[in-house]
Structure 1
């Protein structure tokens, strides 16, 4: 046997080990927040006034291709939210007399909001428990956007697809 040969030992094997996961990566505090969705979606806020009619609201919903409008006063303060569901319920209650009614008579006034740094899973849980699909985002300066349950689900699906692709690349090499 040549004198330069050394049999493998435990310390040499440990140096060559690689891991795709570790305690640090599995318990990372990098939590997906509402801000990440807002960064992708943008912070457009579409609103209407309480004294506007449901007819006005329906036009804005159609033009913008959205499912809900924030109801704000002249100062931009949140007074309520008006969703397609609210309008449909009112249509069933007052057929043929719905569109001239004021937004303030139909809107939901107990509006839950979230902050940009709130974890998405927390917002999803609140939306699911409250059975609503739209949540305004507010920070210290006021309203900065709106997130929908669809936005949150799409973000997470994209995230899962990316993770699956990374795993596939890791396996294939």
Structure 2
């Protein structure tokens, strides 16, 4: 028998193995950007002016079924954010006298913002540490969106459903 001869082995017949998971797929959530969430949701950003009343704000929150309004000045520049929590705190401080108050008396003036290119994981970490649920998305000084923890959860659930469908298709064929 020549020295270069090798008998045929079972492994010679096996196809290359594939894996349904990889480093890329297992870390895809950490690669998600704020823009991915903005693309998957309603683009409308509901705003209110500082001089408007809390009554007007509460009506907008109710009518649009949202939890926060971005407060902008006449030029459209971001000057604050008004959340349900802000209103509830004021209700506790001034029961029966809250709705006529101006938005500027209750809004949060120090607003943390993010950009569309920010990693979603980083933004969610900031929201969790800061104990707030809404963050305006800006491009320079221009307001381009609003992201909430609920938006991020909804985005991730959709991604999980897609991943499950892909796995099912791999199994079924």
C-alpha distance 23-136 of structure 1, shift in aligned 2 (>3 A): closer
Tell me what 2:134 maps to.
134
Conservation of the 8 A alpha-carbon contact between 1:42 and 1:145: no
Note if 1:74 corresponds to 2:74.
yes
Q: What's the CA shift for 1:43?
A: 2.3
Instruction: Output the TM-score relative to the length of structure 2.
Output: 0.85
Runs of 4+ in 1 over 6 A off after TM superposition: 27-30
The worse-fitting range, judged by mean Cα deviation, of 28-37 and 159-168 is 28-37
Aligned to 2:151: 151
Deviation at 1:112, TM superposition (A): 0.7
Deviation of the 1:164 alpha carbon: 2.0
Q: 1:114 maps to which residue?
A: 114
Shift of the 149–64 alpha-carbon distance from structure 1 to 2, 3 Å rule, reads same
The equivalent residue for 1:7 is: 8
CA deviations over 1:83-113 (Å, ceiling 9, x no partner): 1111111011101110111111100011111
Q: Deviations over 1:5-25 (max 9, x none)?
A: x72476x457x3031245666
Residues 21-100 of structure 1: pairs in structure 2 closer than 5 A? 21-22=21-22, 31-100=31-100
* Structure 1 runs not aligned, ≥5 long: 1-5
Contiguous gaps of at least 5 residues in structure 2: 1-6
The two structures, once aligned, show a CA RMSD in angstroms of: 2.3
Is the Cα contact below 8 Å between 2:115 and 2:138 reproduced in 1? yes
- Distance of aligned partners of 1:66 and 1:25 in 2 relative to their CA distance in 1, 3 Å threshold: closer
Q: Is the 8 A contact 1:49 1:103 kept in 2?
A: yes
Structure 2 CA distance, aligned partners of 1:172 and 1:29? Answer: 25
Change (3 A) 1:162 1:57: same
List per-residue Cα deviations over 1:57-96 (Å, max 9, x = no partner). Answer: 1111112111110111111111100011111110111011
Take 2:90 and 2:29, find their aligned partners in 1: how far apart are those partners?
Answer: 45
SS at match of 1:126: helix
